[in-house]
Amino acid sequence: MYTVHTGRVFLDQYNRRTGQQLTARQFFGEQLWPVFFNAPDEKHLMQVTNSAFFQSAYAKQVTSSELPNYRRVKFQQAVEDTIEGRQLVSGALAIGYWAAGPEETTSGQVSHLQQNPDESSIYCSWIGAGLAVGFGGGYDMLFEQENILWHIWQGWPYYRQYINENHLLKGRQIAAWNGLWLMYGLESAYTDADVEKTYRQVKSLLAQNNHVIADKAGQKLDRPDWPQQVLELCKATKGTFKTVVNGFSFGQTNKTLGMMTIELPEIKRMQEVWEKLMGLNPGLPEPGKKGLENWLSVNYSLEKAVQTGGLGLRALAPKDYQTLFPDKQSTGKASLDKLYKLYQKSPYTLFYSQAWIMTLLQNPRQANNEELLQLANMLATELVNFTEKGKTKDSTINTKLKKADNLVNATTKASYLQVLAEIVNELPADMPKDLYNQAREIVFLMPADSYRLFIALLKCTYVIVLGGGKVI
C-alpha cells in the first residue's frame, strides 16, 4: 500500500536528518501520537474509519483524562493481535489496506490474501497517511520529494496549535491542513525560512482567503481549488521537476485516482507566457491582480483532469474551452460574439485561454511552434486591418467581416485555405501578399492536431486584437 511506502520514505529521511534510528513504532509513539491523538476526540488531527482511536465505547470505560492513552493501548493491542495472527488486518488498523472480510464495510478493498503485514508496515501506513496532501476535489495526494515531506511534517504541530487557538475549529482534517500548509508555506522549505514565521504567514493567508468556514459543528478548513494548489506548487519549486503522486480518498468507500504526474515544467511555461502577455497589456483593469493565480478558471474537476493524462497543461484547459475550437454544429459568428463579449467583460479570461493555447503550441512535440505564435498575431492584425478598410460601404464591411469570421472559424485546413484565397483576391494589387502566402504554406503542411490549436489561437488572438489588446 502506498501509505506504507510513503511512511518508510519519510522515516528514512527523518532518521538521516536527525541522526536517530527510530523504528516506525517509536516514531509513531514519539512524534505522531502526541500531536495527533493525545487530545479530546473531536480535536484529533486525523480520522480513520473504524479505528480503535475512534471507538465511542471506550469513552465509557475510563475517565476523560485517561481516554487518549487508553485508546493508544487498545490500538497497540490490535497491532500485536494482527502480527501474531489472532485477527486479520484491515483498513481500520493499517491505513489503505483492505476490509477484514467480504461482509465488512467497504472502507477498504477486500482481499483473499491472508498474510498480515509486519509491525513496521502498519505503523508506516499511519505515518504515510499523516503526510497526505488534501486537494480541492476531495482527493488526497502522497508525494515523495524530501523537501515536501519534511515541510508537511513540520506543519503537524502547527495544526495542533492552530486548533488550540481556534476553539470552534473542528479537528480530523490533517489532509486539508497539509494542503493549505503546502500551498501557502512550501516556498519556505526551499529557502530555509523560519518555521514559526511560516506559520504566521499561513495563518494570515487562511483568514485572508476565507479558508476557515462555518458549518453545523462550528468551523472547518476549506480546501482550495486544485488548480491553485498546482500553480503554487510550481511557483514554490520554480517548476524545476515533474513529480509523480498517488491520489486516493479513504472513507466509507475507498476511491483511488492511482499514480499520476504533476507536470510542473509545463505549468511554469504557461506562467511565463502569461507574464509576457500581461507585460504587453499594462492598461488592463485591476492592475494589482494580474497574476495568473487570480484568473484560473478551468474546465475540469479533479477526477476529469486526471483523465487528461495527469495534472498538466491539458488539465488546465479553460472553462468552456470548446468555444475556441471551430464546430460544424454552431455558427462561427455566434462563438466570436460570445468571445468578444467575454473579452469586454473580463479580458483576463481570454488571455488565460490564449496563454493555455500558446503554451501547448510551445510544446516540443508541436512543429513550428514559434512560427505559429508569430503567424497568428500578424494574421489577426492583418484581418482587422482588412475589415477596417471597407467601412465607408456597409455592404463591403459586412462581406469582409464575414470572410474574416469564416477564416478564424474554419473547421478544416481545406476550408481555411479556400477562405484565405478569397481574402487574397480582394486585396489591392499593390498590397504585399507575403504574410498570406506564409499563412497558406505553413497551414498546408501542418498536422491536424497542430491545425486545431493554431486555428483556436488565431480565433482567440483575433478577438483580443479587435478589443485593443496586444499579443506577442
Q: Which three cell numbers stand for residue 426?
A: 480582394
Strand ranges for 177-264 from DSSP E: 212-215, 218-221, 243-249, 255-262
Residue 250 carries which DSSP code?
-
Residue 252 has pLDDT above 80, yes or no: no
The C-alpha cell 497551414 sits at 443
Helix (H) or strand (E) holding 197: helix 195-208
Q: What is the tally of helices (H) and strands (E) in the chain?
A: 18, 6
Q: Please list, in sequence order, all residues whose beta carbon lies within 8 angstroms of the beta carbon of residue 56, skipping any fewer than 6 positions away.
A: none
Q: What is the pLDDT of residue 397?
A: 63
| CB 187 within 8 Å of CB 232 | no
According to the model, what pLDDT value does residue 355 have? Answer: 94
Closest CA to 380 of 458, 297, 469: 458
Residue in the structure block whose three cell numbers are 488486518: 89
Interval 30-38 mean pLDDT: 96
Instruction: Answer yes or no: is pLDDT of 114 > 90.
Output: no
Binning pLDDT at 50, 70 and 90, where does residue 98 land? low
The mean predicted confidence, pLDDT, of the chain is 88
Hey, how many other C-beta atoms are within 10 angstroms of the C-beta on 400? 20
Query: In the prediction, which pLDDT does 110 show?
Result: 45
How much is the pLDDT for 230?
97
pLDDT at 364 over 60: no
Q: In angstroms, rounded to a whole number, what is the distance separating the alpha carbons of residues 253 and 428?
A: 69
Range with lowest mean pLDDT among 136-140, 161-165, 365-369, 373-377: 365-369
| Cβ count within 10 A of residue 116 | 20
Residues forming beta bridges with residue 133, ordered by sequence position: 141
Calculate mean pLDDT across residues 142-147. Answer: 96
Q: How far apart are CA 13 and CA 6, in angstroms?
A: 11
Give the H/E segment covering residue 142.
Answer: strand 139-142
Q: What is the pLDDT of residues 444-468, one digit of tens each?
A: 988 888 899 999 999 999 999 999 8
Q: Give pLDDT, residue 338.
A: 87
The set of cell numbers assigned to 25 is 513504532
pLDDT number for residue 106 = 47
* Terminal CA-CA length for the chain: 48
What is the arithmetic mean of pLDDT over 399-411?
A: 89
Largest CA distance in the chain: 97
Q: Does residue 87 surpass a pLDDT of 80?
A: yes
Closest CA to 413 of 443, 380, 456, 450: 443
Please determine, for residue 179, whether its predicted confidence score (pLDDT) is greater than 90. yes
Across the range 426-438, mean pLDDT stands at 81
Average pLDDT of span 219-242: 95
pLDDT digits (tens, 9 = 90+) for 292-327: 999 999 999 999 999 999 999 999 999 989 888 876
pLDDT in tens, 382-402: 998 888 775 555 556 678 888
Give, to the nearest 10 degrees, the angle between helix 146-165 and helix 2-18.
90
87 vs 103: CA distance, rounded Å: 16
Where residue 13 falls among pLDDT bands split at 50, 70, 90? very high
Q: What is the pLDDT of residue 101?
A: 52
